[in-house]
Amino acid sequence: MKNDLKVEQFGIHYMLDGYGADAVILSDAVALRHILDTLPTKMGMHAINEPVVVEVGAKNRKDPGGISGFVMIAESHISFHTFPKRGFVTIDVYTCQNELDTDKLTREFTEFFKLKEVDEYTKKRGTKYPVENIY
């Protein structure tokens, strides 16, 4: 790459690991799908495919089964994996926007899943993304 390449930040990646969630909500595929149907618009994003929601059976001691969901938004994505029997949900919201209202996301998820405890983390992604086309 040229040394004088102008770069900018590509996007923001928000991660939430939620504990003590409501087991009924974590098991409700319809409600979970509704989140993927509505959240992109609510956050100013644009879904580019139908959300995929899959129920996953118990696999081993660590994984007692749950529901996984994913929706592609324009060149980024939202995903979750729930574990009703452990009251656990792990969520990713990755956007190519320069700004993301992470407090709003945390409020939305905390309320929806009735989370008792939350670990959230935000990572800048693609910090050397070229401002112009290079090819």
Q: Verify binding: residue 51, a copy of itself, rule CB under 8 A.
A: no
Within residues 69-108, the interface with a copy of itself by CB under 8 A covers 70, 72, 74-77, 79, 81, 83-88, 90, 92, 94, 96
Map the footprint of a copy of itself across residues 30-49, applying CB under 8 A.
Answer: 48-49
x-or-dash string of contact with a copy of itself, 4-23, rule CB under 8 A: ----x-xx-x-x-x-xx--x
* Annotation says 81 is catalytic: yes
- Please, what is the angle between helix 102-113 and helix 29-42, to 10°? 160
Q: Which residue has the tokens 């792990």?
A: 90
Per-residue burial over 83-110, b if 16 or more Cβ lie within 10 Å, else e, is: bbebbbbbbebbbbeeebebeebbebbb
> How many residues are listed for the chain in this entry?
135
CA 60, CA 65: separation in Å to the nearest integer? 9
Q: Are 20 and 81 in contact (CB under 8 A)?
A: no
Active site residue 34: no
79 is catalytic: no
- The site for a copy of itself (CB under 8 A) is made up of 1, 8, 10-11, 13, 15, 17, 19-20, 23, 48-49, 52, 54, 56, 59, 62-64, 66, 68, 70, 72, 74-77, 79, 81, 83-88, 90, 92, 94, 96, 116-117, 119, 121, 123, 125-130, 133-135
Catalytic site residues? 76, 81, 96
